[in-house]
Structure 1
Amino acid sequence: MNAGAVGTRDQQHGSNTRRKKRKFSGPRNVKESCIGHRGILITCSPGQEAACRREAYHLLLEYFELFREKKKDIELSGNDLNQELSLEDELKQLRKQTSKTGLPNANMDLNMFYTIEVGVKGSVFFAFHSSVDVEPCEMVEKIMQDVERTKVRKCRYSVRFIPVDGICYARKEEASRLFCELLEKKLKQWKPLEKNSFAVVFRKRNNSGAHRNDFIEAVAQHMPSCFHVNLDKPNITILVEVLKTSCLIAIVENYDRYCKFNVHELWERLEMSEKNVQ
């Protein structure tokens, strides 16, 4: 049978092919650049990216639903008591409408986040849609808090959950400009002299041209004079992650407390502490 005949047969029997269930299996658009996005970078062992992507997708979806419900509860707090109770009952019903795959109810917006290829093995980046009002740092801290509180690891393949406040090209001038924008927003949230020490953590992968000292100096020079460097126990940690031609930046708190946002290390430390108590 020649190639033409095979193609014709596939076309004839294509309508009889069983339609497969949609699965979250890869980036929405591998050609899309991550520049200008914010989200969460998740690391895993090389070769386990697909498993990590599926696992992290369900976990993040769960937390997006959690934050959305929290926002609804705040909006409901100003309404009439009877009306509030009625809406609360409705929310409870919606929570019960969970599919067999473990996904939240059908009203959940599945386009709030998606993956973008970063071109580095062992790394999966989930970009937040521009309309999402949840901060990546806020979500990562909530995940870590839950691991610390429940002593449940929550994931098998996903290792580190690194929040990303913004992404620019991997040039020190671009990093300096982006950090200024991010810092201005953060300073409005902090009380004067409440957070007065910082450290810069720089990592790079698949980029030989990015020099550590250049990027550290590019961001550190913008810190207000009331802040001092503390490499041991800083109040604020500035994360600079260079992946190929992209530079991911985040300004975070509790970086060391949560084992550099490593879920497995945090869980193991909690397990060890519990054994020592016994």
Structure 2
Amino acid sequence: MAPRGGRSRGRYYNNNSLGGDELPRSSCGFLLSCADRCENKCVSDVFRMMDEFWTSSSSSPTGGDSAAGGGGAEASDDEKKEGEKDKPTSATADVDVSKALEEELKDLRAKSRRENAPFKRVDIGSRGTLYMVATEHAKNENDAKPLPTRVHDTVRAIMDDVDKTRRCKSRWLNRFLPVEDVCVAKLDDIKACAAPIIARHFGDPNDTAQDLPVYRYAVIYDHRICTKLDRLGVINAVVDSVPKRHVVNLDRPQIVIIVTHVKNSAAITVVHDYYELAKWNMSELAKPPEERMGQNEREKRLAEKEAAKKRKADDKAEEEGADAKRAKT
């Protein structure tokens, strides 16, 4: 008899799948969750979204197609020159040759796009979880933004579009998180890796200027196919890098820092409007707010907490008023 829980675990990973790759260190990209056994379809959808939202001259699909198309055109000219001595007399033969050339050009274009793609999939050995790493073709020297910032802004643009149109861009994709850096899954490494990312979103912790923005934030620790780290230790390591003027708010944070522990690596993500955008879950975000999973329960819980806080403040004010009256008498 199989041990209890073994069947459930085997559904998502097994001894063979644990041989997958680690998340590339010091890389940025996308951490995705999708329906089980639909990983390849999810990757195709991500590439399609990148064609629409990722703007880079070095990774433009048009550039790849033109390069492939140019090579194919030269090949076809050579074939025409060689075939001038022995031209086919049959119209059917002409059609067959044209189809063969079109198929060859199509294969060349597809190969060129794969080789020059700004992102590629990393097999981490877990079903339903994907990591798309940014390649050297994603870099653009003409863009002033750092590559991790462009990755974040691209995913944010996709989520804003889904939120606005209520149209999900993938049938299989669920969570779509931008990863700004990856490090070894140790507390000291996580703290050092998160510090510059936090500075980009929260400001320099050493800045003492007046009228600096103050954000409400929260830290989330998630883990997959790994031995869990101490959750509170990870959170404290990240919080130490956040400027002290910002306030921890677990109920309504404006910014959420997510540390995702996968195998021996830790992926650092910083997102705004985490709960407003349905935890950056594309399939849930496409639904009306009242139909999103857990949304009504969360709003109800927050309303109850705020009501309890208000009652506590009213009771305190009433007690202080009563004490003041007794003091007068």
Given that residues 197 and 229 in structure 1 are in contact (C-alpha distance below 8 angstroms), is that contact kept between their aligned partners in structure 2? yes
Aligned match of 2:153:
138
Given that residues 151 and 270 in structure 1 are in contact (C-alpha distance below 8 angstroms), is that contact kept between their aligned partners in structure 2? no
- Give the partner amino acid of 1:250: T
Identify which of 252, 257, 269 aligns with 1:238.
257
Given that residues 170 and 245 in structure 1 are in contact (C-alpha distance below 8 angstroms), is that contact kept between their aligned partners in structure 2? yes
> Structure 1: which 5+ runs fail to align?
1-29, 73-93, 274-278
Matched, 1:199 2:218: yes
Aligned match of 1:113:
119
Aligned match of 1:260:
279
- Give the partner amino acid of 2:41: A
CA distance in 1, matches of 2:280, 2:176: 6
Following superposition, the deviation at residue 39 of structure 1 comes to: 0.8
Aligned match of 2:187:
172
CA distance in 1, matches of 2:287, 2:106: 31
CA distance in 2, matches of 1:34, 1:139: 20
Matched, 1:63 2:64: no
CA distance in 2, matches of 1:62, 1:144: 13
Matched, 1:151 2:170: no
Following superposition, the deviation at residue 59 of structure 1 comes to: 1.6
Aligned match of 1:122:
128
Matched, 1:269 2:269: no
Distance change (3 Å), C-alpha of 1:158 and 1:181: same
Q: More helix per residue: 1 or 2?
A: 2
1:181-220 alpha-carbon deviations (Å, 9 max, x no partner): 2122334599954242110011111112412111111101
1:142-186 alpha-carbon deviations (Å, 9 max, x no partner): 001111222211110111101101011111111011011212233
Distance change (3 Å), C-alpha of 1:31 and 1:263: closer
Identify which of 231, 241, 266 aligns with 1:247.
266
- Give the partner amino acid of 1:59: M
1:52-97 alpha-carbon deviations (Å, 9 max, x no partner): 1222222223211xx348xx9xxxxxxxxxxxxxxxxxxxxx9xx9
Could you say what secondary structure the match of 2:193 adopts? Answer: helix
Aligned match of 2:308:
none
Could you say what secondary structure the match of 2:173 adopts? Answer: coil
Following superposition, the deviation at residue 110 of structure 1 comes to: 3.2
Aligned match of 1:184:
199
Question: Scaled by the length of structure 2, what TM-score is found?
Answer: 0.58
- Give the partner amino acid of 2:237: A
Following superposition, the deviation at residue 33 of structure 1 comes to: 4.6
Given that residues 43 and 123 in structure 1 are in contact (C-alpha distance below 8 angstroms), is that contact kept between their aligned partners in structure 2? yes
1:210-257 alpha-carbon deviations (Å, 9 max, x no partner): 121111111012211101100111121101111111101012111111
Given that residues 190 and 266 in structure 2 are in contact (C-alpha distance below 8 angstroms), is that contact kept between their aligned partners in structure 1? yes
Q: How many residues align?
A: 216
Given that residues 23 and 182 in structure 2 are in contact (C-alpha distance below 8 angstroms), is that contact kept between their aligned partners in structure 1? no
CA distance in 2, matches of 1:188, 1:224: 7
Distance change (3 Å), C-alpha of 1:141 and 1:173: same
Q: Aligned-pair RMSD on alpha carbons?
A: 3.4
Given that residues 22 and 264 in structure 2 are in contact (C-alpha distance below 8 angstroms), is that contact kept between their aligned partners in structure 1? no
Given that residues 41 and 124 in structure 1 are in contact (C-alpha distance below 8 angstroms), is that contact kept between their aligned partners in structure 2? yes
Identity of aligned residues (%): 24
Structure 1 stretches (4+) deviating beyond 3 angstroms?
30-33, 106-110, 187-193, 270-273
Question: Scaled by the length of structure 1, what TM-score is found?
Answer: 0.68
CA distance in 1, matches of 2:41, 2:113: 26
Could you say what secondary structure the match of 2:288 adopts? Answer: helix
- Give the partner amino acid of 1:50: N
> Structure 2: which 5+ runs fail to align?
1-19, 61-65, 70-104, 141-146, 293-329
Distance change (3 Å), C-alpha of 1:100 and 1:160: farther
